[in-house]
Amino acid sequence: MKKIYFLLILGLVFQVALFAQEVPQEQKIVITKIGATWCPNCGTQAWDNFDELNQDFADKAVILSIHPSSSSKLHSPESRDFSNNLPGAFGQPLFYVHRTKFSTGAILANAGTAVTEAQNVSPIVNAGVSATVKNNSLEVKAKVKFFQEGNGDYYLSLFIVEDGVIEDQSNRGSDANHKKILRSSLMGGTFGQVIANGTIDANTEFTFTDSKTIDEEWNTENLEIAAIIWKKVGDTYEFENANSVDASLSTSVNFLKTAGVNLSIAPTIVQESATVMLESPIDLDQVNLAIYNTAGQQVTNLFSGAVQQGFQNFTIQKSELKNSGIYFLQMESNGSIISRKLVVE
């Protein structure tokens, strides 16, 4: 029965891969939060409202958290460029729907209105995206399709976004869970590459491919690609449409994830010790559970052997890791890998 269930899931995964670059004929808004890890107000109502935006509109909008301040621990050059393209983007926290600025108290209602309005718009253009993590590289393919005739200078940006980034946040503590952080970009920079200019006929399609080396601090299980199509007017990039897709961890099926194996650490910031919790709905013949540093070197091995169906706990001692910094817990079985980030203080 388990084998049949696994094969059914396998078939669904391959179907998803085949249609990953279908271009959705829908209009989506872009919701942007400007913040900084040192900003006290970013960790209060603005934080709660951003959580609610993600809960309510994650599948209806492209949502980004940008840190243009160079002194923020989550700063990126793309965040600075993105902010500079927004009117009145001075200070933080700030919220935008496309290029319209809203206060922290007004963003929820106005984002909801904008999402509803977008659902009734027939889009001119959109992008379909597929993204794969292979070895230490993120490989992305995009297809842009014009559903109606377009006229102007159109650009495609592909942004690398990481969800669930554990980092300090003023008024939230050192292990705050940051959602939808803009990490980097492909396509040569923040505003990407020219799609076409002038008059573009309806049903015209364009394809793009690009790749990027994955930063050692990124959690590959939480990466997504946000595709934004801009129409350049003078020196300003106006939002035209957007789409996003999660990055797949490999070109082959990760059977650990498919089988529903869960791996977690508590706390993720280790001061004395931490507990690794492994839940497996199936028996595993051979499992290797080890901790690696950012250079990819194994620091300590927690477990090697068979794992039975159910729950298993393992303990990480700070003394085993010696130095403070970022580490990665990695579980490997039959060529499939699950990894988790932890920080040692």
How far apart are alpha carbons 268 and 146 in whole angstroms?
A: 45
Q: How confident is the model at residue 14 (pLDDT cuts 50, 70, 90)?
A: very low
What CATH code is carried by the domain that includes residue 297? 2.60.40.1930
Contact predicate 104/93, CB 8 Å: yes
Tell me the two tokens of residue 184: 């980097």
Phi, psi of 53 (to 5 degrees): -60, -40
219 and 262 co-located in one domain? no
Domain that holds residue 285: 255-344
Q: Is 13 inside a domain boundary?
A: no
By the 10 Å C-beta count (0-12 exposed, 13-18 middle, 19+ buried), 92 is classed as buried
Are 234 and 270 members of one domain? no
How high is the pLDDT of residue 1? 41
In this structure, which long-range contacts are made by residues 318-323, counting pairs with CB atoms below 8 Å and at least 24 apart in sequence? 318/270, 318/271, 318/272, 318/273, 318/344, 320/291, 321/270, 321/291
In a domain, 2, yes or no: no
How does residue 21 score in pLDDT terms, banded at 50, 70 and 90? Answer: low
Residue 248 to residues 149, 299, 341, Cα–Cα distance (Å) = 33, 27, 18
What per-residue confidence (pLDDT) applies to 253? 54
Before 40, cis peptide (omega within 30)? no
227 — phi, psi (to 5°)? -100, 125
- pLDDT averaged over the chain? 89
Q: If pLDDT is split at 50, 70 and 90, which confidence band does 18 have?
A: very low
Q: Which stretches within the chain are classed as H helix?
A: 2-18, 45-57, 77-84, 107-119, 255-258, 318-321
Q: Which residue has the higher pLDDT, 270 or 107?
A: 107
Confidence label for 15 from pLDDT (cuts 50, 70 and 90): very low
Last residue of a domain, one of 216, 246, 276: 246
The domain tally of the chain equals 2
pLDDT at 292: 84
**Same domain, yes or no, for 329 and 234?**
no
Specify whether 102 is located in the same domain as 68: yes
pTM more than 0.75: no
Give the burial class of 287: count Cβ atoms within 10 A of its Cβ; 0-12 exposed, 13-18 middle, 19 or more buried.
Answer: buried
Residues 195 and 310 in one domain: no
Of the residues 208, 224, 246, the one at which a domain ends:
246
How many CA within 13 A on the CB side of residue 65?
27
**In one letter, which amino acid is 33?**
K
Please tell me whether residue 265 adopts helix, strand or coil conformation: strand
In this prediction, residues 96-123 reach a mean pLDDT of 96
